[in-house]
Amino acid sequence: MPANSTDSYWTIAQLAKAESPKTKGSRFIGEAFPVDSAERALELLGKVRKREHSATHHCWAYRVAAHGSTFRYSDDGEPNGSAGLPIYREIEGRGLSNVLVVVTRYYGGTKLGTGGLVRAYSEAAGLVLDQARRREVILRASVRLRFGFDDTSPAMHTIGRFDAEIADTSYSEDGTEMLVNVRISDVKRLEAAFVEALGGRGSIVVTAPET
């Protein structure tokens, strides 16, 4: 996985589920979900609780926002620090964001102690995250370009120099208006290159960053 970037982050592409080997009779079932908000994470947690209603514990952690700036975890009745935090550290250690992990425990009749619980919850969370398919999300800003028909060639050549996605194009008597989504780190360079290529003609406006 690449080092942290200012305009990209890694998440999981789809739901994953894995069960680690029994630990002294207890079952630990890990589920990992891609989420786009804390609210969505809690909604999915509620669904797991309802589906696995006979389980002893549903310990969980989520990390959301582009670089994981929002996070929360819960031991759900297990000894303090023995479940939620270890799950969160598995997410954080893999550099993932917009992820919820729930580890459901079915008690097997033998207490594991705090150290044993930490290992069991870490193992279940790590197992499911390692099985989940990952994807990189590129953070982009929307840039609106306007240029005359005579400047179409230099404008398109400039756009082609960047990792840019053309989202919309419209035409009028005055020329072309184009909405382009470009990597946040490239916005200033695109602006400078566009102005230089068109000799100051046309206009470029940054309309909104993507989240």
Instruction: Dump pLDDT digits (tens) for 50-80.
Output: 999 999 999 999 999 877 789 999 999 999 9
Instruction: Record the pTM.
Output: 0.81
Q: Which helix (H) or strand (E) holds 44?
A: helix 38-51
pLDDT of amino acid 207 = 78
The CATH number given to 139-209 is 3.30.70.240
Beta strands in the chain (DSSP E): 8-12, 16-19, 27-34, 57-64, 70-74, 99-106, 134-138, 140-147, 164-172, 175-183, 203-209
pLDDT of amino acid 5 = 62
Q: What is the CATH superfamily name and number for domain 8-136?
A: Impact, N-terminal domain (3.30.230.30)
Mean pLDDT (whole number) for 191-211: 85
Where, residue-wise, is CATH 3.30.70.240 in the chain? Answer: 139-209
Dist. CA 105–CA 127, nearest whole Å: 15
pLDDT of amino acid 3 = 39
Mean pLDDT (whole number) for 28-44: 97
pLDDT at 87 over 90: yes
pLDDT of amino acid 1 = 41
140-183 pLDDT, tens digit each: 999 999 999 999 999 999 999 999 999 999 999 999 999 999 99
Where, residue-wise, is CATH 3.30.230.30 in the chain? Answer: 8-136
Dist. CA 130–CA 76, nearest whole Å: 24
pLDDT at 208 over 80: no
